[in-house]
Structure formats: structure tokens, C-alpha cells
């Protein structure tokens, strides 16, 4: 039996698409909604006479848990703010997500699949990205960055785009991933956020362009998918301790240390020298490294965290706006209101009414 690929432009009305194993490789295949129970019915094993293999290699589509992969794709809200184009074969699925408006968009994901995220285009006016196990990031220029979410980890992101973003998601079945002999079969892959890797990036971009162009060269797509899986595992084997997100940024332990200190002293005026001392850097090098990692200077990051805390407190009707302003470190209600409006586009009082 020849290996088959399925390929389609996802419609917004069918958020959980189904692939029909009987169709040929066709860019015009339509998605058909299905229930989760039917998806689980198609959850198949490798052949009865063959032992399951952990090695990532193309197999006939009938052996691929396609429904499970796509049903557990990244959730995007509102769904009609983007278009989604998907390609899938044994052990892997790829999805190109293109923003078509400048609306605020939320992303969420947690599944028994590995997820590699390639941010091809996109500069956000505001936003935050979180991968479970790592400090969150408010980096604004995410273009040409990568992120990796191991199976079972949570990935959350929201953004108010300055430019229309384009993201490529790569979903991997952990059971079909290659094994790096340096690490062993049971060594978990580490989460990584906003990192750069030339080899991974070039392969990911090639696959994304093939999907966008509607390529029907399934063998080439499969081969690139195998290369991408091997590169991902090979590089992760040497980075079990998470690397800085990009050259010149803070190391993971430094990010965690600084974020924890800011959260614990959210209402205080924190000197730069204090933060720099915590991570064993000079003030000058700390400021440069911090901006490289988080996309904003330390004081702007601190203010952003104050506003997020204020949003949580505004959900509690018993607290007055003045009390909340003091609680998050503003000495005057007017300065709190001005900062809140600049960050959110609305006043604290109007934001509280919107929650009701």
C-alpha cells in the first residue's frame, strides 16, 4: 500500500476536521466535522503482525492516528480570525495558520503530542506566551523564532498583532519519534521558548511553503518531515537544560529568578541593580539581556505584570479602584488609570464593567 497524505484548507465552521482515508492526495479535500468518540474509534495501532516502532517513518495513512492529531490541534479563538491549512501523514501533522485580521487572538494547547511552533511572520503590539515549565515571555517581535512544547505540556498565548502573523505548527506523535542514542528512549524532550536554530528553521520553512503552494509531492514532504523530527530530537538531546531563548539573552534560571522576584515584589520599586545582582550580571549587561529575552526593558515588564495583577483584582467587586492601585504599587489613582488605559485601551472602571 502506498503512503497517502491528506491536505486541506480548514473551514472555520469545522473546528475538529476529519480526514477520509479513501481520498487521494488532493489540495481540494474538504473537512468534515466529527465527534470525539468517532475520533477515538479510528485510533489505530501498527499492523497486528508487527511490533510497534518508535522510529519516525512514513506508513500508510490507515495506520496514522489522523483524527486524534487534528482533533487535538492548537485551539484558536476567535476561529474566524485566521485561515488554517493542514497536511498529515503517519506520525506527523502540519498546520499553516495565517491571520486575516488584526483582532486579538488567543491560542491554547495541551495534548499527548509534541508541538513545534515556527513563527514565520508577526510583530505583536501586545501579547504573552507561556509554555509550562518555562518563564512566560512578552517578546513582541516573534518573527523567525521557534518554540517547542513537549507532549503533555500546556501552551498558551495571546496577542494583539501589529502585523498579520503567520505561524506553522508541527505535531509529532511521540511514539513515532526517532531515538537519539546519546539520550535514550525514555529521556524527555525539554520545552523551549523563542529560540533560534538554522537547520530546524530552514526545514520548517520548506514544509510550510510546500503546504501553502499546494504541493502534491508527498515523498518530498515525508522526507522533510523525517529530517525535521531527527533534527528536533538531536538538538534537544544536547539541551536538556534549557538554553537561552536567543543569543545574548538571559539563561532559563536567570529568567525564572527575575520573574519570581518581580512577582513577589509587584508593588515595590525594584532597582535595576537588585535584579542584576540576583542573576550575577552588571546592570548594563542585565538590561540588554533582559530585553533580548522578554522583548521589553525591565521597567516595562514590571508595569505589565502590575496591570495583569490589577485585572485579577478588578474581578473582585469589593475592592475599590484606589485600593487596587495601591495594591499593585501606584501611589495615585490617576497614574494607575493612565497606565492601565495605555496598556489595555480602557479605564479600570470600564474594564470592571466589561467583566460583569
Cβ neighbour number for residue 216 with a 10 Å cutoff: 14
For residue range 161-215, list pLDDT tens digits in order: 888 889 999 999 988 888 765 555 556 788 898 888 888 899 999 888 887 777 6
Phi, psi of 244 (to 5 degrees): -60, 150
| Least-confidence region, from 17-26, 105-114, 157-166, 286-295 | 17-26
Q: How confident is the model at residue 60 (pLDDT cuts 50, 70, 90)?
A: very low
For residue range 289-325, list pLDDT tens digits in order: 999 888 889 999 999 999 999 998 998 888 999 999 9
Closest-CA residue to 147 (of 123, 186, 114, 103): 114
For residue range 226-252, list pLDDT tens digits in order: 889 888 888 765 444 444 444 568 988
Q: Which helix (H) or strand (E) covers residue 223, if one does? A: helix 218-237
- How far apart (Å, rounded) are the C-alpha atoms in residues 43 and 63? 9
Residue 329: the pLDDT is: 93
Reduced to 3 states (helix: H, G, I; strand: E, B; else coil), residue 93 is: strand
- How far apart (Å, rounded) are the C-alpha atoms in residues 21 and 106? 31
Of all residues in the chain, what percent carry a pLDDT higher than 90? 36
In Å, the largest CA–CA distance within the chain is: 73
Closest-CA residue to 288 (of 300, 279, 299, 297): 297
- How far apart (Å, rounded) are the C-alpha atoms in residues 214 and 197? 26
Closest-CA residue to 84 (of 141, 13, 36, 148): 13
Which residues have a Cβ under 8 Å from the Cβ of 192 and sit 6 or more positions away?
A: 131, 134, 146, 147, 148, 236, 239, 242, 243, 245
Contact predicate 23/66, CB 8 Å? no
Beta bridge partners of 287: none
- How far apart (Å, rounded) are the C-alpha atoms in residues 70 and 171? 9
The stretch 2-15 carries a mean pLDDT of 40
475520533: which residue's cell? Answer: 39
Amino acid at each position: 500500500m502506498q503512503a497517502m497524505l491528506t491536505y486541506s484548507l480548514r473551514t472555520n465552521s469545522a473546528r475538529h476536521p476529519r480526514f477520509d482515508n479513501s481520498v487521494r492526495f488532493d489540495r481540494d479535500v474538504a473537512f468534515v466535522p466529527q465527534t470525539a468518540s468517532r475520533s477515538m474509534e479510528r485510533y489505530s495501532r501498527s499492523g497486528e503482525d508487527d511490533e510497534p516502532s518508535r522510529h519516525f517513518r512514513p506508513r500508510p495513512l490507515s495506520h496514522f492516528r489522523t483524527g486524534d492529531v487534528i482533533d487535538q490541534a492548537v485551539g484558536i479563538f476567535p476561529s474566524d480570525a485566521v485561515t488554517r491549512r493542514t497536511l498529515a501523514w503517519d506520525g506527523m501533522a502540519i498546520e499553516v495558520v495565517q491571520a486575516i485580521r488584526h483582532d486579538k487572538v488567543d491560542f491554547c494547547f495541551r495534548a499527548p503530542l509534541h508541538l513545534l511552533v515556527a513563527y514565520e511572520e508577526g510583530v505583536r503590539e501586545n501579547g504573552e506566551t507561556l509554555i509550562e515549565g518555562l518563564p512566560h515571555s512578552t517578546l513582541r517581535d516573534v518573527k523567525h523564532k521557534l518554540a517547542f512544547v513537549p507532549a503533555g505540556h500546556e501552551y498558551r498565548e495571546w496577542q494583539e498583532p501589529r502585523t498579520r502573523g503567520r505561524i506553522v505548527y508541527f505535531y509529532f506523535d511521540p511514539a513515532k519519534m526517532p531515538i537519539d542514542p546519546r539520550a535514550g528512549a525514555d529521556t524527555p524532550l525539554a520545552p523551549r521558548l523563542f529560540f533560534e536554530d538554522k537547520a530546524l528553521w530552514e526545514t520548517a520553512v520548506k514544509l510550510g511553503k510546500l503546504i501553502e503552494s499546494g504541493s502534491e509531492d508527498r515523498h518530498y514532504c515525508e522526507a522533510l518531515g523525517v529530517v525535521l523530527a531527527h533534527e528536533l530530537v538531536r538538538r534537544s538531546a544536547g539541551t536538556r537544560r534549557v538554553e537561552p531563548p536567543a543569543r545574548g539573552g538571559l539563561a532559563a534560571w536567570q529568567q525564572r529568578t527575575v520573574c519570581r522576584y518581580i512577582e513577589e515584589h509587584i508593588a515595590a520599586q525594584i532597582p535595576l541593580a537588585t535584579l542584576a545582582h540576583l542573576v550575577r550580571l552588571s546592570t548594563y549587561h542585565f538590561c540588554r539581556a533582559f530585553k533580548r529575552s522578554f522583548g521589553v526593558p525591565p521597567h516595562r515588564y514590571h508595569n505589565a505584570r502590575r496591570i495583569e495583577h490589577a485585572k485579577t483584582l478588578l474581578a473582585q467587586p469589593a475592592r475599590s479602584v484606589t485600593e487596587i492601585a495601591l495594591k499593585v504599587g501606584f501611589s495615585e489613582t490617576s497614574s494607575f488609570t493612565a497606565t492601565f488605559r495605555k496598556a489595555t485601551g480602557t479605564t479600570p472602571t470600564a474594564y470592571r464593567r466589561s467583566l460583569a
